[in-house]
Structure formats: structure tokens, C-alpha cells
Amino acid sequence: MAIVLIGGKQYLVNQGDKISVNKLSRKEGDLFEVKDELSKDIVKLKVLKNYKGEKIDVLKYIKKKGYKRVYGSRAYLTELEVVG
């Protein structure tokens, strides 16, 4: 079990776990290392894919005024696998 810092956020991971983080500037299949925040050990991560996440819809509405606005967004994500 390790706590890693990726993109300014901390994630609790075990070997073999798959996590989704904000998009990283790495290609699919790349291996990279980060330090464990507690024990300062090295954690190896592999980039599985870069993709767009689920769409989040937001509705602004004011009753009795006829005001309604709908907008949404999709986050760019990177899926990582802990290999060592």
C-alpha cells in the first residue's frame, strides 16, 4: 500500500490497482516512477490509456422567470496501472 502524489492530488494505491487521474502528458504504454509519500519508496506506474470521462450535465433554473440554461463538460483523464 502506498500514497502517491500525481497532478497535485494524493491517491492510495496497491500493486495491480488501476486509477484514473487528470490527463498527463504521457503516451500509452509509458512507464514512469513516483515516490511514496510515506516511506519514500519508488512506485512504478504504467499508462494504459488517455480518454474522455463521463459527461457532467449542469442545469441552471430560476422558477417563475422562464430562465433555464443547460451546459456540461467532459474531463480528459488518464488511466494508470500500478506495476511495482
Give me the pLDDT at residue 46, please. 96
Q: What's the pLDDT band for 10 if we cut at 50, 70, 90?
A: very high
Whether 73 contacts 56, CB under 8 Å? yes
Give the chain's domain count: 1
75 inside domain = yes
Q: What's the pLDDT band for 84 if we cut at 50, 70, 90?
A: confident
39 inside domain = no
84 inside domain = yes
User: Left (φ > 0), alpha (ψ -120 to 50) or beta: where does 83 sit?
Assistant: alpha
59 inside domain = yes
A 10 A CB-CB count for 48 gives: 15
Rounded to an integer, what distance in angstroms lies between the CA atom of residue 11 and that of residue 26? 18
Give me the pLDDT at residue 3, please. 94
- Per-residue CA distances from 35 to 2, 19, 32, 44, 73 (Å): 9, 16, 10, 9, 32
| Site of grid cell 511495482 | 84
41 inside domain = no
Give me the pLDDT at residue 34, please. 94
pLDDT in tens, 24-73: 999 999 999 999 999 989 999 999 999 999 999 999 999 999 999 999 99
78 inside domain = yes
Which residues span the domain enclosing 62?
Answer: 16-25+47-84
3 inside domain = no
21 inside domain = yes
